[in-house]
Chains A and B, each alone.
Chain A
Amino acid sequence: MNDILVRAKGLTKAFGAVTAIAEATFEVAAGDQIALVGPSGSGKSTLLHLIAAIDRPTEGQIEWPALGGQRDLRPGPVAIAFQGPSLLPPLTVAENIGLPVLLAGGTEVEAAAAAEPLIERLGLSDIAAKLPEEISGGQAQRAGLARALAGQPRLILADEPTGQLDSTTADGLMTVLLEQVRATQAALIVATHDTAVAGRLPLRWQLIDRRMQTGAELSCSS
């Protein structure tokens, strides 16, 4: 079994004349827990989009050796929790959380079974039947994370998952997230500003001046 989930070489993403990511080279192995840090606008979200194959690089190569072809990544092996409100407005919180299971070909019963424990663990039981526009930003963020976990992906990408949460709730959410990751042997990349959140993850990637420094480089430089 190949343990490398993602391998990228010279990955570059430019938007017109503006370069967001320049020549990033990295690997993500199964079970890796990575904190992706960097100032606002440094390209953290763009990098997550490239890893999730939602966006395409301008230059360089990226592959998912242990996850299959680009078209097989979502829904299934790769899941992403977005930074902003991303729940589907006409579906309830519970339906939103179960959606990846349905998109992957599961039944409604399977979707409900996958969503139920996550709703409970993330404290969403009271709002499970509510529509996204009836809940707070923090609740929506937790529901978004639950949705990313529902399909039991092998690589979880979370973009500022605690951005709208207080520190206690953020800590609880990280605990649930890490437990889930350990239970499923999934890899985790969390883009965050929060040093407390970053501190709970063993690996750290830093984006400075559009260039990425992975764990090895970070330890060399420190």
Chain B
Amino acid sequence: MFILTWLTGLLRHRAARLAGSVLGVAMTVALLGSLGVFFAASKAQMTRQALAGVVVDWQVQLAPGAAAASAGRAIAGAPGVVKSLPVGYASTTGLTATAGGTTQVTGPGKVLGLPPSYSAAFPGEIRYLVGARSGVLLAQQTAANLHASVGTLVAIGRKGLPPAKVVVRGIVDLPAADSMFQAVGAPPGVSLQAPPDNVVLLPQAVWQRDFTQLGNTQPGAVYQQYHVALSPRLAPDPAAAFTDVTARAKNLEVRLAGAGAVGDNLAAQLDAARKDALYAQLLFLFLGVPGAVLAALLTAIIAAAGGDRRRREQALLRIRGASPRRIIWFAATEALLVGILGAGIGLIGAMLAGRLAFGVTRFGATTSQAVFWGALAAIAGFGLAIVTELVPAARDARTITVRQARDIVGPASKPLWATLYVDIWLLAAAGIVFWRSVQSGYQVVLAPEGVATISVSYSTFLAPLLFWIGAALLSWRLSNAALGRGRAAVARAARPLAGGLAGVVAASMSRQRRLLSRGLLIMALTASFAVSTAIFNQTYAAQSRVDAQLSNGSDVTAATTAATGLPPRIFGATRQLPGVVAVQPMMHRFAYVGNDLQDMFGINPRTIGQATSVSDAFFQGGNAQSVLARLAARPDAVLVSDETVRDYQLQPGGLIRLRLQFASDHAYHLVRFHYVGIVREFPTAPRDSFFVANASYIAKMTGSPAYQVMLTKVSGSPPAIAGRVRQLLGPASGAVVQDIASQLKITLSGLTTIDLSGLTRLELTFAFILSVAASGLVLILGLVERRRMFAITAALGARTRQLASFVWAEAFFVTLGGAVLGILSGWGLSFIIVKILTGVFDPPPPHLFTPWAYLGALAAVTAVAVIAAGATVIRSAREPAMEIIRDL
């Protein structure tokens, strides 16, 4: 009955404070819940993307002599298999075609025999460019090598047999050639096999007619695969999906009993995705947890703001005879109410935020995860309510005397951590952990290819965590010292604002330095959270773009594999398109260094940067500008990979002899270059070794000025301009046009896979709310706690400007001090996080990117919140609060 009366009283007379505590708990729960939703969304997205990126899930290669029919039945009957089609593979010694009076001969290649329904079953495997969609089809590069087109007669060389003659019906592109021609069953660690240069696709019947006999005489030259599509119903968590798919593949291999080996393309893709999932987990820990901690701290501040009043109420209850036990029961009821309401509102908020930011309302990728995250968020809310409401009340009820309950300033002694310099120790420890973490060879996530277990170096978290806590405690120490030992300086600084009252204002601030330092600490933590989140997100977004541009080449990139290059008119025509800022042609050739065939890119080093981002991180031994200047300074200059420098012991300026294909005879001839620098990465370049040289020199030496790539920088919509370029090129060109916007959506690397946009929106919104809450609310609550002091000062006759000088001096100190220290620690935190998560970035960012607009808006809103809070307090203090005066 008493408890009911107490609750009713709370709701009637302490509704604002109760609402504040409930909102604080709700915010914490919402933030944790939203992160659970982010987890669910990003993991499910990763799995979806991994599935979408795989054209053929499994390629089951039959062992020589295996019974194809029974193996086919075993494969079709394996769990989860939706489609399985046989594909014949045969090696050819070379292809020959006569066109325009000349005969072209190619090197070895592959001949595939495809069943009629193949392209319908695996639509991403073949892209039709010219001619028919059935019959004999020639890969685009092969057609270019043979100068062949629809109707050309091609002779397919067969070892030990006369060539098979076929008529070309269509030209196709094979986008998934890498996996299509993989070495199935190769032991892990064996480097990837490059797809063949020459490929012919034959109808199954034709292939069987022409190559069955070859299989009998040359068993190694002919083999059969089953291409398999699995049911897309996999666990949303990529790690679980990987384990599941790998187990199924192993199961099939056991069933086949040596008759076949599984090339598990899907598991390979999921393998990369599960690594990315762990990165997402790390991002959650780095970015999300501080926000939840901050929301919890704010709740504690809100609850503590009522501490003085609560202690007085407790003192009154005890004078009236209430036992500490009964007082604790009252507090427990209050905590329960706050916990239930806060957790409920928070979970609903998390679902709404998840719906807005990620389009999902579940808290986890699986049901168990959903239960885990939902429960975790709710328990955290209850825990917070108990810690902030019940624990202080229980402590006060048991330990504080009625006399002490009246104390407002409290003892001036330092807390234990400050006496022991825990802040300095934490910062030193953070420095040591950071130094150890960024040493060479370090990887935060280690996922050995093909191995089911992945490991995360969780100890790495310690660096930012220790730094965050250490920096926050240090800000308290600095604030405390400024208000204690620096009281005279505070008085001087307050003089323009407070005039003759400056000394009193400084004295008042100095004696309440624990309260003010607490406010400054919260402000610093909030600023640090907002700044580090914003800088990390901006850097991440910028690097995503660089990464996508690195893969795509530029905003819009047109590329052909034909030696004849893109039609020369396309460059001028593209420049004329509205929304096009710059166009740069780039050669993509091949060059032999020794026996190694490497990609070679011919550029104009002076102008390449107009159409694409050329980052400093692309080069070693100098920034982009200086390395490109070295390239431009010497016509025969070449940039090579680090590996090539080591393998061939090159010295800067040293001669390097490469063999390039000449236009005159299509044969490779020696061309002299001079090595001037090391290139690590370059737009459109592969991740292994390649060369970058002057296009003009390559054109002069090879006799071919053909450009295979067009890099285009646009100010308009990349997909729209890509569409226009496709129209200009026409369907017969064989060129592929890609845009950066589409590229950003494709799984490419750890960086672009984790879609941070939802988390970013959520984080930045929370940072905004927390900043406003911390600055405005902490200030207003801190001042409300001293409402009595303001009432007495006003009753003594203080003018509004005199009351204002107390308020503004404190507000300036807390807000500006907190903001400055928070910005510094936030910058430091982003630096540490970006360094530690280097594995996420490819290439690593040259510097941190600062979102000035967001931070400017945040600063403006925070300033408005502080001014509004201060003005509210001043307005309410202008007239003495009579309910307080009457108590005097």
Question: Measuring CB to CB, which residues of chain A are less than 8 angstroms from any residue of chain B?
Answer: 45-46, 49, 52, 54-55, 73-76, 80, 82-92, 95, 99-100, 102-108, 131, 133, 147, 159
Q: How far is the CB of A64 from chain B (nearest CB, A)?
A: 13
Contact A49 B797 (CB under 8 A): no
Contact B797 A76 (CB under 8 A): yes
Binds A, one of B132-140, B169-177, B406-414, B714-722: B406-414
Q: A76-B797, A100-B797, A106-B500 are in contact. Are A133 and B882 (CB under 8 A)?
A: no
Contact A84 B796 (CB under 8 A): no
Chain B residue nearest to A76 in the complex (CB): B797
Q: A54-B880, A55-B882, A133-B406 are in contact. Are A90 and B507 (CB under 8 A)?
A: yes
Contact A90 B407 (CB under 8 A): no
Q: List 28 A-B residue pairs with CB atoms under 8 Å apart, sorted by A's residue number.
A: A46-B886, A49-B886, A54-B880, A54-B885, A74-B797, A75-B796, A75-B797, A75-B798, A82-B888, A88-B792, A88-B793, A89-B789, A90-B509, A90-B510, A90-B512, A91-B511, A92-B507, A100-B797, A102-B501, A102-B504, A103-B501, A103-B797, A103-B802, A107-B500, A108-B500, A131-B511, A133-B407, A147-B796
Contact B802 A131 (CB under 8 A): no
Docked complex Cα distance between A88 and B786 (Å): 10
Q: A75-B797, A80-B795 are in contact. Are A131 and B409 (CB under 8 A)?
A: yes
Query: Does B106 lie at the interface of the complex (its beta carbon under 8 Å from any beta carbon of A)?
Result: no
Query: Does B596 lie at the interface of the complex (its beta carbon under 8 Å from any beta carbon of A)?
Result: no
Q: How far is the CB of A43 from chain B (nearest CB, A)?
A: 11
Chain A residue numbers with a CB within 8 Å of B503 are: 108
Q: A83-B888, A95-B504 are in contact. Are A89 and B408 (CB under 8 A)?
A: yes
Query: Does B508 lie at the interface of the complex (its beta carbon under 8 Å from any beta carbon of A)?
Result: yes
Interface of A is mostly: loop
Chain B residue numbers with a CB within 8 Å of A104 are: 797
Please give 15 more A-B residue pairs, beta carbons under 8 A apart, in addition to A49-B885, A86-B792, A107-B500.
A45-B886, A52-B795, A74-B796, A82-B792, A83-B888, A84-B888, A89-B786, A90-B512, A92-B507, A100-B797, A103-B797, A103-B799, A104-B797, A105-B500, A108-B500
Chain A residue numbers with a CB within 8 Å of B647 are: none
Docked complex Cα distance between A55 and B798 (Å): 15
Contact A91 B507 (CB under 8 A): yes
Of listed B409, B500, B510, B796, residue having the most chain A CB within 10 A = B796
Chain A residue numbers with a CB within 8 Å of B511 are: 89-91, 131
Of listed B409, B500, B510, B798, residue having the most chain A CB within 10 A = B500
Chain B residue numbers with a CB within 8 Å of A54 are: 795, 880, 882, 885
CB contacts under 8 Å to A, within B69-97, are none
Chain B residue numbers with a CB within 8 Å of A159 are: 888
Contact B792 A103 (CB under 8 A): no
Docked complex Cα distance between A108 and B491 (Å): 12
Docked complex Cα distance between A133 and B117 (Å): 91
Q: Nearest 10 A-B pairs (CB), nearest first?
A: A74-B797, A75-B797, A82-B888, A90-B511, A89-B408, A90-B508, A84-B888, A133-B407, A86-B888, A90-B512
Query: Does B665 lie at the interface of the complex (its beta carbon under 8 Å from any beta carbon of A)?
Result: no
Chain A residue numbers with a CB within 8 Å of B508 are: 88, 90-91
Q: How far is the CB of B466 from chain A (nearest CB, A)?
A: 34
Interface of B is mostly: helix
Of listed A83, A86, A91, residue having the most chain B CB within 10 A = A86
Docked complex Cα distance between A169 and B504 (Å): 30
Could you mark each residue 759-792 of chain B with 1 if its beta carbon is under 8 Å from any beta carbon of chain A, else 0? 0000000000000000000000000001001001
Chain A residue nearest to B512 in the complex (CB): A90
Q: A89-B789, A131-B409 are in contact. Are A95 and B507 (CB under 8 A)?
A: yes
Chain B residue nearest to A104 in the complex (CB): B797
Docked complex Cα distance between A97 and B509 (Å): 18
Docked complex Cα distance between A52 and B510 (Å): 31
Choose one: B504, B880, B888; the contact of A91 (CB below 8 Å).
B504
Chain A residue numbers with a CB within 8 Å of B500 are: 102, 105-108
Could you mark each residue 501-521 of chain B with 1 if its beta carbon is under 8 Å from any beta carbon of chain A, else 0? 101100111111000000000
Docked complex Cα distance between A53 and B789 (Å): 19
Chain A residue numbers with a CB within 8 Å of B795 are: 52, 54, 74, 80, 82, 86
Q: How far is the CB of B657 from chain A (nearest CB, A)?
A: 83
Chain A residue numbers with a CB within 8 Å of B797 are: 73-76, 100, 103-104
Chain A residue numbers with a CB within 8 Å of B789 are: 88-90
CB contacts under 8 Å to A, within B648-699, are none
Chain B residue numbers with a CB within 8 Å of A107 are: 500
Chain B residue numbers with a CB within 8 Å of A95 are: 504, 507
Chain B residue numbers with a CB within 8 Å of A84 are: 887-888
Q: How far is the CB of B884 from chain A (nearest CB, A)?
A: 10
Chain A residue numbers with a CB within 8 Å of B882 are: 49, 54-55
Docked complex Cα distance between A88 and B799 (Å): 16
Docked complex Cα distance between A37 and B159 (Å): 127
Chain B residue nearest to A55 in the complex (CB): B882
Chain B residue numbers with a CB within 8 Å of A55 are: 882, 885
Contact A133 B409 (CB under 8 A): yes
Docked complex Cα distance between A171 and B586 (Å): 103
Chain B residue nearest to A20 in the complex (CB): B886
CB contacts under 8 Å to A, within B475-521, are 500-501, 503-504, 507-512
Docked complex Cα distance between A133 and B788 (Å): 14
Chain B residue nearest to A110 in the complex (CB): B500
Chain A residue nearest to B499 in the complex (CB): A105
Chain B residue numbers with a CB within 8 Å of A86 are: 792, 795, 888
Q: How far is the CB of B790 from chain A (nearest CB, A)?
A: 10
Chain A residue numbers with a CB within 8 Å of B509 are: 90
Of listed A83, A85, A106, residue having the most chain B CB within 10 A = A85
Docked complex Cα distance between A92 and B880 (Å): 22
Of listed A82, A88, A91, A147, residue having the most chain B CB within 10 A = A88
Q: How far is the CB of A28 from chain B (nearest CB, A)?
A: 19
